[in-house]
Structure 1
Amino acid sequence: MSKLIPRDLQSIQAFIFERLLNEDPSARSLALLGTFPIKLDDHHRAPAILRIEKTPFAAELAQSLSSDLLHEVKCIENNDIYTWLLGWFNRKENAPDVKINIIFPATEVHIRKYSAQTTCMIRETPELFHKIVKPYIDKIPPSRTQWVEDILSGKSESHKVLHRDGTKFGYVILPDMKWDLTTLSSLYLVAISSCRDIKCLRDLRKQHISMLRGVQHEASRIVKERWGLESGGLRFFIHYQPSYYHFHVHIVNANYCGLMGMCVGQAHLLDDVISLLEIDSDTGPFILERMTLTYGLGEQHGLFESMNAGQERLREISSDL
């Protein structure tokens, strides 16, 4: 019997809940920790994370929301011109109520990532990067980004690839797993570099400008042709620290602002990064190596303890100036 892939109702019902990792009222989502059997009807189980979020409303459903989709309502309160109700929808094939993301089997790193946690603002000097962050990145096993390699090789998600650039500094563009593939207002694509030596923002050099501009050009063209979104309708940004250390660019509808990863303290606008690279030197040390970067780091992140400890030394240096 082959490994269980939880892709239908029967297999998802095999999930055994253990505890709530996180709830996010603003994103209307829950992250649950539990287990799935390694194989269906097997007693051997492995950790799994289910992230369940309410799907956004599709604009084309606007005319039928009250007349067709609503199955039942219950009034909560009324005050003058204001009325509050709870509502229940009829099942409709093109209007799912929730989107479910599954990580299985989930590692301890995944569990920590999706757990509720306090965020601390960290100042990362070039010295702290070379002393703490770079060794951390270098120790990450290749298995952690095997799913990226599968996309680049065409083994996985090849039917979703919207563009593939096969040049020296190539990349692929495809929908991000956070998008429901339907709602234009929450459009979310990702461009993944095929250069394995670009792990994060600090690895970018002037020679990569053509790749970054290519991502902008091709993504804008694709979105205009497929979904009619005009120039200026997309926001391009890079995370630091990223969720995985293989360089990628996030591409979202410019009006979509609903995720923490778009906030100051993690997201760096691609245009700003390109501008920095344009004024960079040709021989180094390079500008993104020389900069001190400030970002939010969750207490469950593998870098948190060592980087938080490093902040005390920075404070001592500042007080001596």
Structure 2
Amino acid sequence: MQEPKDTNDIALSSLQGFVFERILLEEPEKCRLTVLGTFPASFVEHSEESTEKSTDALPAIVRLERTAIPINISQRIFPGQLGAFLSQVQCMERTDIYMWLAGWLSPSSIEQQPQGDVKVNIVCPATEVHIRKYSEQSCVLVHETPDIYRRIVEPYISGLPAERTRWRVFRGHVAVTEILDGHKEQSKLLFSSSDFIILPDMKWDLHTVGSLYLIAIVRDNSIRSIRDLRVRHIALLKSIQREAIAVASEKWGVLQGGLRMYMHYQPSYYHFHVHIVNANYEAGLGSRVGQAHLLDDVIALLELDEADASDRPGIFERITLTYAMKAAQT
């Protein structure tokens, strides 16, 4: 493989080097396709900490999704065809293992769709955790009582290594603390205060309002999940709600009723954050009952505690939470 001349050449040559293995997940009605394959080891840059450079092929996940207009994405991709599927690609974002590209299906669509016909999301090298995450698998419901949380779940969370609070979903291996401390991603911030920040999620292409996806991250690292929320946090949650509406309205014309705000339980990492998406955006399992808890509902439950004015434990210390877990996680 010759050395590419620019970013576009790097992306295109990389896609042409992709070897298809199998489909992990397909949602043709939403024009989404997730496939597993391999890239040459030259696809990624080895960090200075690497002691040796592998010459083997690297496992990779490639996820295609439409942007502003419906695209009839083929439900099958064969070896060597992924690069030909896109007539041109442009690298938009890249971290150590996460990358996304804007892609056009024909040269004539470049002017009509400057943001790309499709968004190409790449994880390389992909670990077994990534592959399980994007593979289709059955789920089971878990009923987490307060007692189970105290005896099993909370000790598990407290015993997690510090790297589990690294924000892998948005920016590869950039740690949450690096963003909150002002060392990383400051150009991405849409709002910042002494209590929380708001910035785009990497899942979003920054253009397609229908798939708008922002994240609010609180600065208080003692709040790990909704289990840690108390009456004293009502003002914080309402402030996140208010500022998210202001940002989405000012920048993209999305008004209050056009946003869905929710938290995951269990979350992917234990530093409290709120997902802020277009109300019409289908964000997969993460936005469905069994994992997503609406911010409005959480605030309402805390306000019941506030009105009660008793000395008993908070609502999220007393409640049994039911959530779905993929079979591979149980």
1:278 positional shift: 2.1
CA contact (8 A) 1:201 1:238 kept: yes
Q: Does 1:32 align with 2:31?
A: no
Q: Secondary structure at the match of 2:215?
A: strand
Amino acid at match of 2:117: D
Separation in 2, partners of 1:282, 1:179: 43
Conserved? CA contact 2:206–2:212, under 8 Å: yes
Larger Rg belongs to: 1
Aligned-residue offset at 1:212:
0.8
Identity, % of aligned positions: 50
- Alpha-carbon distance in 1 for matches of 2:40, 2:311: 53
SS of the residue 1:56 aligns to = coil
User: Alpha carbons of 1:232 and 1:288: their partners in 2 closer, same or farther (altered >3 Å)?
Assistant: same
Q: Is 1:140 aligned to 2:165, yes or no?
A: no
* More off after superposition, 201-210 vs 92-101: 92-101
Q: Judging changes above 3 Å, is the alpha-carbon distance between structure 1 residues 246 and 37 closer, same or farther for their aligned structure 2 residues?
A: farther
Find out whether 1:218 has 2:243 as its counterpart: yes
SS in 1 for 2:35: strand
Name the counterpart of 1:119. 139
Amino acid at match of 2:65: E
Residue 158 of structure 1 corresponds to 186
How far residue 276 of structure 1 moved from its aligned partner, in angstroms, is 1.4
> Cα 1:217–1:288, aligned 2, differ >3 Å: closer, same or farther?
same
- Relative contact order, higher structure (CA 8 A, sep 6+): 1
The one of 19, 24, 27 aligned to 1:21: 24
Deviations 1:177-210 (CA, angstroms, capped at 9, x unpaired): 2222112222221111222222211111222222
Alignment partner of 1:149 is 2:148: no
Instruction: Select between 261-270 and 18-27 the one with higher mean Cα deviation.
Output: 18-27
> What's 2:109 paired with?
91
| Whole-angstrom distance in 2 between the partners of 1:39 and 1:155 | 29
SS in 2 for 1:232: helix
Match for residue 75 of structure 1? none
Counterpart position of 2:198:
173
Deviation (angstroms), 1:299: 0.9
**Residues in 2 aligned to 1:173 and 1:223: alpha-carbon distance in whole angstroms:** 11
Give the distance between the partners of 1:134 and 1:14, measured in 2 at CA.
44
Higher mean C-alpha displacement, 134-143 vs 199-208: 134-143
Distance of aligned partners of 1:40 and 1:235 in 2 relative to their CA distance in 1, 3 Å threshold: closer
Segment of structure 1 superposing worse, 175-184 or 132-141: 132-141
Aligned length: 266
TM-score, normalised by the number of residues in structure 2: 0.71
Whether contact under 8 Å (2:69, 2:117) holds in the other structure is no
2:285 paired residue among 260, 270, 273: 260
CA contact 1:171–1:194 (8 Å) conserved in 2: yes
Give the CA deviation at 1:220.
Answer: 1.0
Amino acid at match of 2:144: E
* Partner SS for 2:290: coil
Calculate the TM-score normalised by the size of structure 1: 0.73
Structure 2 residue ranges without an equivalent (≥5):
1-6, 45-53, 71-104, 167-173
Runs of 4+ in 1 over 6 A off after TM superposition: none
SS of the residue 2:322 aligns to = strand
Aligned match of 2:327 = 299
Give the CA deviation at 1:106. 2.9
CA contact (8 A) 1:57 1:183 kept: no
Code of the aligned partner of 1:96: G
Instruction: Name 1:196's counterpart in structure 2.
Output: 221
Q: Distance in 1 between matches of 2:59 and 2:178?
A: 22
Instruction: Please give the alpha-carbon distance, in whole angstroms, between the structure 1 residues aligned to 2:232 and 2:19.
Output: 49
Tell me, in whole angstroms, the C-alpha distance in 2 between the residues paired with 1:191 and 1:279. 24
Structure 2: distance between partners of 1:162 and 1:95: 20
- Inter-partner Cα distance in structure 2 for 1:33 and 1:156: 30
Q: What residue ranges of structure 1 are gaps of 5+ in the alignment?
A: 59-87, 305-321
Contact 1:115 / 1:300 at 8 angstroms: preserved in 2? Answer: no
Matches of 1:152 and 1:36 in 2, distance apart?
34
Superposition CA RMSD, Å: 2.8
Measured against aligned partners, the alpha-carbon deviations of 1:106-156 in whole angstroms (never above 9, x if no partner) come to 333222211111122222111222233223323433223323334323444
Pairwise CA distance, 1:284: 5.1
Task: State which drifts further: 239-248 or 22-31.
Answer: 22-31
| C-alpha separation in 1, matches of 2:192 and 2:231 | 22
CA distance in 2, matches of 1:156, 1:36: 28
Deviations 1:5-55 (Å, cap 9, x if unpaired)?
997323444444443322233432222333445545961454432222222
User: What is the aligned partner in structure 2 of residue 56 from structure 1?
Assistant: 68
CA distance in 2, matches of 1:194, 1:47: 35
